[in-house]
Structure 1
Amino acid sequence: MTRVVSVFLPSWSIDRHRRMAGDAAPPPEVPLVLAAREGARRSVQAVNAAARAAGLRVGMQAAKAQALVPGLLVEDADLAADGRELDRLAVWLHQRVAPVVAPDPPDGIVIDTTGADQLHGGENDMLDAIIGRLALSGVEARAAIADTWGTAYGLARHVSPSPVVAPPGHGAEPMMVLPIEALRLPLRMTTDLRGLGFEKAGDLIAQPRAPLALRFGPELGRRIAHALGEAPEPIIAIRPPDLTEVRRAFAEPIGAAETIARYIGQLVGQMCERLEAKGLGARRLDLVCHRVDRGLQTVRVGLARPVCDPKALARLLREKIEDIEPGFGIEIMTLAATLAEPLVQQQTTSSLVDESVPDVGGLIDILANRVGARAVFRLAPVASDVPERSVRRIAALTEETGATWPGHWPRPARLLPRPEPVETMALLPDHPPAWFHWRGIRRRVRRADGPERVFGEWWKREAEMVAVRDYFRVEDEAGERYWLFRAGDGEDQATGSHRWFLHGVFG
């Protein structure tokens, strides 16, 4: 089933202007509008939050806005630059989210994410990642995902700022409560419809289409059909100018898995020839299948490092064939290297020299494309004495940095996501517990070692200025070993609550 994400950028012109201004941008609390000339007058094209709170709106005369808000900052709008940057943003999302991405002017982007959500940890995580990445770039964004472009568009613009995920197969229900503006109708048509008493999109959906078409033309019925999925609405994907892409059109549509696999091999071979000529290796490949019913089936595979091996790339793509629904047949297949990097040449080994470290890159690529790239990682040390801050996830094939964990005190093989409170009894200030009660089981301590005192990081949080923890390695009567700590030094209440917690389990 097709799934489409609509990304709404409510302050796109303002955000782009601030990004271009850099350090010279005015503070957010200063009212700011962007104005452009429309015929004989200069009108407001965009307003920031402070100007909106002062009562200014898009479309009013710039001179009137200055009269209403003393000290208003008026800058020149550049609609052409807004469009160019929107295209660049669409290319950026194309490289990171899904194969089919297109700008939705003047303030949106549409993404066909069918089958791509599994590479991002699911639809909710994917939307959070999109919004989070844009926020880090200084761009405010809202997003929604639905079965159709029209429904996703309406949800992104007319529901809460939080990401909205419409359930697959939702039908018309999400559109019924949205305002008629959610149907992407021309402004004049929306005004006329409101004059007739239509407020919600559901009011129009419930009406017979023929009388509406006679009164307002075919555009109204077409937009309703697009929103409900009754008529296809193709997304014309943006293509970077330097994209390496190969294409195959078929005289007769294909649909058998064996046939698709054969042509994947041919496309991959052509792709590797072009990449090799450029000295590049693929880090991400997108296979797009154009069906005879104008539907798209997309497959994306990622790689941990640049690869230009036809066999390895074809194997990864062929594992995704079961996700392709050919329908009445596929008439065009395209393969694009969405992300390509310089290929590092490696010397092959021989029987005359010692074998190098085994190459696990192929295994990592297979696992990452089966369970998601975020699920395949390794742990690296971080310079911190606080245990939960001393480790981070990194890509599986990231080069070693030389950093290590402290070796003077052993660390447990399993660190709990967060310390869990336990009931126990111990002599203060520096004796280990005699027993502890954890997850419904009482365990008597047979031997223990410690304490290892860990101080808080005062430069990160003021509350850790005097905070300490005393860690103990304990072993119960069954031979199982645990890592417990007492919050505080056992004497001064200011250093901690003196409660006990279990933080890890030794192997």
Structure 2
Amino acid sequence: MRQVVSLFLPTWPIDRLRRRLGRQAPPPDAPLVLAGMEGRRRVLTAASMPARALGLHVGMAVTQAQALVSDLLLMDADPPADEEALERLAVWSLRKYSPLIALDAPDGLMLDVTGATHSYGRTEGLLADMLRRLAEVETAARAVCAPTYGAAHALVRFGGEMLRPEGLAVVDPADLVEAVARLPLAALRLEAKAIEILAALGIEAIAELEAMPRASLALRFGSDPGRRLDQIYGRLSEPFEPVEAPKQIEVERRFAEPIGAPETIARYTRKLVEALCQVLEEAGLGARRLDLRFHRVDNAVQAIRAGLAKASREKKQLARLLCDRIETVDPGYGIERMVLAAPVIEPLGLRTMSSLGDKPVPDVSALVDILGNRVGEERLFRVAARESHIPERSVMRIAPMADPTLLRWPERWPRPVRLFARPEAIETMALLPDHPPVHFVWRGVRRRVKRADGPERIYGEWHLSEAEWLSVRDYFLVEDETGARYWVFRQGDGMDAATGRQDWFLHGIFA
């Protein structure tokens, strides 16, 4: 089943104008509206959230809006600039989220994320990342993922009650009919005149329109209502014209007869990879991401995406990454064209090889690519040192193929192989405040300490807060009667209560 995301930008013209004005932009709580010509009338084409809260809406006459709000901020609309900015957002999203993205002008995008959510663990992760990045640039947005374009478009604009507080929702295919049943007819993108006539007949929801006889519906209103119903329920495909990134390296293959067999698709995938690698080699470039699009005879487009940990143009490696995901492609009645593109590229020169007996450095990038495309790029990482004395802050995650860091962990004191994200409380008994525990109880099991080393005193980071500046931890490396070794610490120095409450915690386990 396909996964289609509708990204809705309710105040896109206002947000774009604020970004352009920068520091000269009006305050966020000011009632700001944009005006344009509709025939001979000057009407509102966009309104900020504070303006909408005062009763203003798109389509209202400017004179009426000024009469309702005395301190209204009125500026001229610029639809071409809004559409140009929307295209730039689509190109950016094309490189980041999905190989198939179409404009849903004037205030949204459509993304086909089928098979492209693995990099974020799940569909909710992709939507959350998208909304978070837009919020960072002060752009209001909502997103819904559904099995059809029509359903996603309708739910993100008219299904506000099903959205999570962060403004996203994912609709299961089994819940599609129920999810769209109570939506108003405006969600079907019908003409205003048709909606007005249907409302006069007492038909206001999609489920009520779906229950009407199709023949009488077509006789009175034409084919548009039936077509929109079929599109929202997935009975009819909807035209989708994907945005293409400018100056993108790509190769394509057209077929005289449509293809559909998996082995045939795999064979031509390898041929496309060979052609793309030749173009990349001539340009001295390597691919960091590959998008393979399949154009079917029914005008539907499907795609698969593969990411790489570092730039490469190795034919076998790239072909394997793409062929592993062919099973997610539905050829339908046949594929008439295949297009392989490299949306993310980097300079890649020739590698120098030494014949003086130097030990070769193993290259694990191919393994990282395979694992990343199967379980998600975000789930693969390396652990590196960070400049902090606090153990849980001295570790950070970096990309698997990132350059080596210069920071190193201190070698004077050993550190556990497994460090808990949060220290776990334990019950202990110590002979003296500066002595290690004689025994401790952790997770309901009593462990007797046979050997111990310490204490290693660690102070808090004074620049963060006064409480941090006063805090003290005394760490001990202890070994129980079974030979297992633990890293425990006591809060406080045993003299000043402000340094800690003398509680004991287990922070890590040694191998």
The answer, yes or no, to whether TM exceeds 0.5 is yes
Q: Following the alignment from structure 1 to structure 2, what is the Cα–Cα distance between the partners of residues 40 and 242?
A: 41
Q: Is the 8 A contact 2:486 2:508 kept in 1?
A: yes
Indicate whether 1:375 and 2:375 are aligned.
Answer: no
* 2:251 match: 246
* 2:65 match: 65
* 1:154 match: 154
Q: For 1:91-490, what aligned pairs fall within 5 Å after superposition?
A: 91-157=91-157, 158-159=159-160, 160=163, 161=165, 162-349=167-354, 351-426=355-430, 429-457=433-461, 459-460=463-464, 464=468, 466-490=470-494
Q: Is the 8 A contact 2:240 2:301 kept in 1?
A: no
Q: For 1:40-79, what aligned pairs fall within 5 Å after superposition?
A: 40-79=40-79
Q: Following the alignment from structure 2 to structure 1, what is the Cα–Cα distance between the partners of residues 399 and 243?
A: 29
Q: Following the alignment from structure 2 to structure 1, what is the Cα–Cα distance between the partners of residues 100 and 186?
A: 25
Provide closer, same or farther for how the CA distance between residues 449 and 132 of structure 1 changes in structure 2, counting only shifts above 3 A.
Answer: same
Provide closer, same or farther for how the CA distance between residues 499 and 204 of structure 1 changes in structure 2, counting only shifts above 3 A.
Answer: farther
Provide closer, same or farther for how the CA distance between residues 340 and 433 of structure 1 changes in structure 2, counting only shifts above 3 A.
Answer: same
Q: Following the alignment from structure 2 to structure 1, what is the Cα–Cα distance between the partners of residues 357 and 488?
A: 49
* SS at structure 1 position matched to 2:156: helix
Q: Following the alignment from structure 2 to structure 1, what is the Cα–Cα distance between the partners of residues 173 and 87?
A: 29
Q: Is the 8 A contact 1:12 1:139 kept in 2?
A: yes
Q: Is the 8 A contact 1:428 1:490 kept in 2?
A: no
Q: Which amino acid aligns with 1:132?
A: R
Q: Following the alignment from structure 1 to structure 2, what is the Cα–Cα distance between the partners of residues 462 and 199?
A: 62
Provide closer, same or farther for how the CA distance between residues 491 and 13 of structure 1 changes in structure 2, counting only shifts above 3 A.
Answer: farther
Q: Which amino acid aligns with 1:336?
A: A
Provide closer, same or farther for how the CA distance between residues 467 and 21 of structure 1 changes in structure 2, counting only shifts above 3 A.
Answer: farther
Identity of aligned residues (%): 53
Q: Is the 8 A contact 1:469 1:489 kept in 2?
A: yes
Write out per-residue CA displacement over residues 168-209 of structure 1, whole angstroms, 9 at most, x where no aligned residue: 344412111323222222333333333333332222223222
Indicate whether 1:80 and 2:84 are aligned.
Answer: no
Provide closer, same or farther for how the CA distance between residues 346 and 178 of structure 1 changes in structure 2, counting only shifts above 3 A.
Answer: same
Range that drifts further, 117-126 or 195-204:
195-204
Using the TM superposition, give the Cα deviation of residue 463 of structure 1 relative to its aligned residue in structure 2, in angstroms. 5.5
Using the TM superposition, give the Cα deviation of residue 459 of structure 1 relative to its aligned residue in structure 2, in angstroms. 4.2
Write out per-residue CA displacement over residues 91-130 of structure 1, whole angstroms, 9 at most, x where no aligned residue: 1111111111111111111111111111221111111111
Q: Following the alignment from structure 2 to structure 1, what is the Cα–Cα distance between the partners of residues 66 and 135?
A: 30
Q: Following the alignment from structure 2 to structure 1, what is the Cα–Cα distance between the partners of residues 274 and 378?
A: 28
Q: Which amino acid aligns with 1:241?
A: P
Range that drifts further, 221-230 or 268-277:
268-277
Indicate whether 1:500 and 2:504 are aligned.
Answer: yes
Q: Following the alignment from structure 2 to structure 1, what is the Cα–Cα distance between the partners of residues 105 and 504?
A: 57
Q: Which amino acid aligns with 2:385?
A: P
Using the TM superposition, give the Cα deviation of residue 491 of structure 1 relative to its aligned residue in structure 2, in angstroms. 4.5
Q: Is the 8 A contact 1:32 1:73 kept in 2?
A: yes
Q: Which amino acid aligns with 2:427?
A: E
Using the TM superposition, give the Cα deviation of residue 353 of structure 1 relative to its aligned residue in structure 2, in angstroms. 4.8
Q: Which amino acid aligns with 2:311?
A: P
Write out per-residue CA displacement over residues 467-494 of structure 1, whole angstroms, 9 at most, x where no aligned residue: 4433332221111111223344444444
Q: Following the alignment from structure 2 to structure 1, what is the Cα–Cα distance between the partners of residues 109 and 179?
A: 20
Using the TM superposition, give the Cα deviation of residue 309 of structure 1 relative to its aligned residue in structure 2, in angstroms. 2.1
Q: Following the alignment from structure 2 to structure 1, what is the Cα–Cα distance between the partners of residues 444 and 343?
A: 52
Q: Is the 8 A contact 2:306 2:373 kept in 1?
A: yes
Provide closer, same or farther for how the CA distance between residues 480 and 72 of structure 1 changes in structure 2, counting only shifts above 3 A.
Answer: same
Q: Following the alignment from structure 1 to structure 2, what is the Cα–Cα distance between the partners of residues 491 and 185?
A: 76
* SS at structure 1 position matched to 2:187: helix
Q: Is the 8 A contact 1:147 1:170 kept in 2?
A: no
Q: Following the alignment from structure 2 to structure 1, what is the Cα–Cα distance between the partners of residues 95 and 27?
A: 32
How many residues end up aligned between the 2 structures? 506
Provide closer, same or farther for how the CA distance between residues 430 and 215 of structure 1 changes in structure 2, counting only shifts above 3 A.
Answer: farther
Provide closer, same or farther for how the CA distance between residues 422 and 176 of structure 1 changes in structure 2, counting only shifts above 3 A.
Answer: farther
Using the TM superposition, give the Cα deviation of residue 437 of structure 1 relative to its aligned residue in structure 2, in angstroms. 2.1
* SS at structure 2 position matched to 1:479: coil
Q: Is the 8 A contact 2:94 2:245 kept in 1?
A: no
* SS at structure 1 position matched to 2:270: helix
Q: Following the alignment from structure 1 to structure 2, what is the Cα–Cα distance between the partners of residues 487 and 54?
A: 55
Q: Which amino acid aligns with 2:179?
A: P
Write out per-residue CA displacement over residues 441-485 of structure 1, whole angstroms, 9 at most, x where no aligned residue: 221222223333333445445654534433332221111111223
Q: Which amino acid aligns with 2:404?
A: E
Provide closer, same or farther for how the CA distance between residues 44 and 375 of structure 1 changes in structure 2, counting only shifts above 3 A.
Answer: same
Write out per-residue CA displacement over residues 310-347 of structure 1, whole angstroms, 9 at most, x where no aligned residue: 22211221222333333443222111112112223321
Using the TM superposition, give the Cα deviation of residue 392 of structure 1 relative to its aligned residue in structure 2, in angstroms. 1.8
Using the TM superposition, give the Cα deviation of residue 301 of structure 1 relative to its aligned residue in structure 2, in angstroms. 0.6
Superposition CA RMSD, Å: 2.3
Using the TM superposition, give the Cα deviation of residue 282 of structure 1 relative to its aligned residue in structure 2, in angstroms. 0.9
User: Structure 2: which 5+ residue stretches go unaligned?
Assistant: none
Q: Which amino acid aligns with 2:112?
A: D
User: Structure 1: which 5+ residue stretches go unaligned?
Assistant: none
Q: Following the alignment from structure 1 to structure 2, what is the Cα–Cα distance between the partners of residues 196 and 469?
A: 75
Provide closer, same or farther for how the CA distance between residues 66 and 269 of structure 1 changes in structure 2, counting only shifts above 3 A.
Answer: same
Range that drifts further, 497-506 or 282-291:
497-506
Q: Following the alignment from structure 1 to structure 2, what is the Cα–Cα distance between the partners of residues 303 and 401?
A: 21
Write out per-residue CA displacement over residues 265-319 of structure 1, whole angstroms, 9 at most, x where no aligned residue: 1111111222223322111111112233444332111111211222221122122
Q: Which amino acid aligns with 1:51?
A: A
Q: Following the alignment from structure 1 to structure 2, what is the Cα–Cα distance between the partners of residues 201 and 487?
A: 63
Range that drifts further, 235-244 or 179-188:
179-188
Q: Is the 8 A contact 2:240 2:300 kept in 1?
A: no
